[in-house]
């Protein structure tokens, strides 16, 4: 069950790498939140009940529901529905993302002999997710796309924490959640400000800014 959940988590990144509609990114965020919830439920290890409840709240309420709904509100308010003219084609993007995941698994199994208490399946997908998120950020132009890929990067960090140890301290989880709230709030303000100023949320418009 757990390997299937982790594989599905990785598939969401392959799906995002080939997607052009903004709604596809939101669906991927929503799916990742639910998959992380399932991992917490089925593989929580020795997590204390307080931490377990908090992680369930973070993954279900925040990651799977609240953040996707907030971003949906942002894109509807600004009328952004598609990633137009990305820097690379969808085919090239999915090929590179696939290579990233292959290399991630190679690195994770290589690291077994170097690092104690590491779970390679978790580790490979988490590292690949973080690198793939950075790649997608680099190759996309819409600011709102960058916001969602940042959230996917954070989901990869969350998965990485589960790969290193079965128990995630409450204070670490709370710190990650606070970071999410601050980042999403600031990004939302930024997107709205850019829209009001330029009537676009394409980062190419920002190249014309000067002191």
Contacts of 155 by beta carbon, 8 Å cutoff, 6+ apart: 29, 32, 33, 36, 63, 129
How far is Cα 10 from Cα 97, in angstroms, rounded to an integer?
10
How far is Cα 113 from Cα 41, in angstroms, rounded to an integer?
29
pLDDT tens, position by position, 90-147 = 889 899 999 999 998 888 777 777 666 677 788 889 889 999 999 998 888 777 788 8
- pTM value is 0.79
Pair 170, 50: CB distance under 8 Å: yes
Can you give the pLDDT at residue 201? 47
* Residues of the chain under the 50 pLDDT cut: 169, 196-199, 201, 203, 206, 211
How far is Cα 147 from Cα 187, in angstroms, rounded to an integer?
7
Can you give the pLDDT at residue 171? 53
């Amino acid at each position: 069950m757990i390997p299937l959940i982790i594989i599905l988590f990785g598939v969401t990144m392959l799906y995002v790498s080939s997607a052009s509609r903004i709604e596809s990114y939101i669906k991927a965020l929503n799916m990742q939140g639910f998959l992380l919830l399932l991992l917490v439920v089925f593989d929580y290890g020795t997590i204390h009940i307080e931490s377990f409840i908090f992680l369930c709240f973070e993954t279900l309420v925040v990651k799977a529901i609240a953040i996707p709904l907030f971003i949906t509100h942002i894109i509807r308010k600004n009328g952004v529905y598609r990633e137009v003219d990305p820097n690379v084609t969808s085919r090239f993007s999915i090929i590179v993302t696939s290579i990233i995941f292959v290399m991630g698994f190679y690195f994770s199994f290589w690291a077994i002999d170097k690092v104690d208490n590491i779970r390679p399946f978790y580790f490979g997908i988490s590292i690949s997710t973080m690198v793939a998120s950075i790649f997608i950020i680099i190759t996309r132009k819409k600011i709102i796309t960058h916001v969602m890929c940042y959230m996917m990067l954070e989901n990869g960090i969350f998965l990485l924490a589960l790969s290193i140890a079965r128990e995630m301290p409450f204070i670490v989880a709370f710190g990650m959640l606070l970071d999410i709230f601050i980042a999403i709030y600031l990004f939302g303000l930024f997107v709205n400000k850019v829209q009001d100023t330029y009537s676009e949320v394409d980062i190419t418009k920002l190249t014309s800014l000067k002191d």
